[in-house]
Structure 1
């Protein structure tokens, strides 16, 4: 089972997003039969089977063995991943694109950057799965508290820009030098207050 699967196919996304099917996917972190899932989700066994077949046809669940139950043999299924993410690529040309967002300081621009990141990393991961070459990444996730004023935010942005620019100057190679190309995105956004 993968830790996360990115869904790019619109038909697979539709199957995964259907509310009953998404509940079944969440319930299939460990192998289970249609009968077990029916009991856990309040569905009839026939309805559970119907939805499980659709999920299996789209590769979202997979066989996980069999188990004898009474005089019957039950098929066990398990989710193909612990978690799923629908890629903006599932929307085709309608997906978010930073090139179509004018205000680079807006939350919408940041979302478009995140969408591009998901699309690019998904393509790289698919290629890596084929070639066996790992995708080398680096992520830094931090939280900080700033004074609640435009001046404080601007001072932070200026300092961060200067620091990142200095690191880039020290490590960036000329275009004709041997090396690998990387994309660097530095973002800040207000942290969602979970207590609200």
Structure 2
């Protein structure tokens, strides 16, 4: 079982979004049979088996073992991953295009960049997994509290300048065998624990 699988196929994405099948995938974090799952979800084994076959056809479930139970062979299956991410490639006709929304202060451009990242890293991960090698990535995640909108704007300006300085220092387009890397830096308000509705006078512009 992989930690995360990125779903690019539209039919597989639809299968994973079905509430019952999503629950079966969650239950299949540990191997189980159709009869075992049927007891957990309160449905007939035949119906559970039907959904398992569909999930298996889309590569979301895989056979672990077959064992004899009485006069029949029982199939034990498991989800192929602990978690799934649906790539924008599954909705290729309507996925956002970062080239159309280029504005560093636009929340829509940020979403388009995140969408592209999921798609590109997903495809790279599929290739790396197939070749049984590690994918070289790096990420930073954290939170910062700004005293004011002006402080946030100043931080963004300094951060952009520093990133540009580092990029200029290490970028070498003529290096023999050099490999291009995608660099994305993002800053957005954190979600509130209870609600993300701003107070009337609170400034929430990106």
* TM-score normalized with structure 2 length: 0.86
Structure 2 gap ranges (5+): 196-206
- Distance in 1, Cα, partners of 2:70 & 2:119: 47
Distance in 1 (CA, whole Å) between partners of 2:164 and 2:100 is 25
Q: Which residue of 1 aligns with 2:194?
A: 195
Q: 1:9 aligns to what? A: 9
Please report how far the alpha carbon of residue 124 of structure 1 lies from its aligned counterpart in structure 2 after TM superposition. Answer: 1.7
- Which residue pairs with 1:176 in the alignment? 174
What residue is the counterpart of 1:49 in the other structure?
49
Equivalent in the alignment of 1:156: 155
Alpha-carbon distance between aligned partners in 2 of 1:33 and 1:189, rounded to the nearest angstrom: 44
Distance across 2 between alignment mates of 1:45 and 1:112: 42
Aligned residues: 194
Mapped partners of 1:74, 1:36: distance in 2: 10
- Alpha-carbon distance in structure 2 between the residues aligned to 1:125 and 1:59: 16
CA distance 1:18–1:143, shift in 2 (3 Å): same
1:102 Cα offset (Å): 4.7
Bigger shift: residues 62-71 or 183-192: 62-71
CA shift, 1:130, in A, is 4.1
Deviation by residue 1:69-102 (Cα, 9 ceiling, x = unmatched): 4565421110011101110001113111111225
Instruction: State the TM-score, normalizing by the size of structure 1.
Output: 0.91
Q: Does the C-alpha gap of structure 1 residues 138 and 102 become closer, same or farther in structure 2, counting only changes over 3 Å?
A: closer
Q: What SS does the aligned partner of 2:168 have?
A: helix
In structure 2, the partner of 1:165 is 164
Deviations 1:152-189, CA, capped at 9 Å, x for gaps: 1111111211221222222122x222222111110011
Distance 2:90 2:135 in 1: 22
Q: What are the equivalent positions in structure 2 for 1:46-85 lying under 5 Å apart?
A: 46-69=46-69, 72-85=72-85
Q: In structure 2, the residue corresponding to 1:143 is in which secondary structure?
A: coil
The offset of 1:31, in angstroms, is 0.4
Q: Which residue of 1 aligns with 2:135?
A: 135
Q: Deviations over 1:3-35 (max 9, x none)?
A: 100010111111111111111001100001111
Report which stretch shifted further, 181-190 or 132-141.
Answer: 132-141
How far off is 1:120 after superposition? Answer: 1.1
The alignment status of 1:100 with 2:105, answered yes or no, reads no
1:31 match? 31
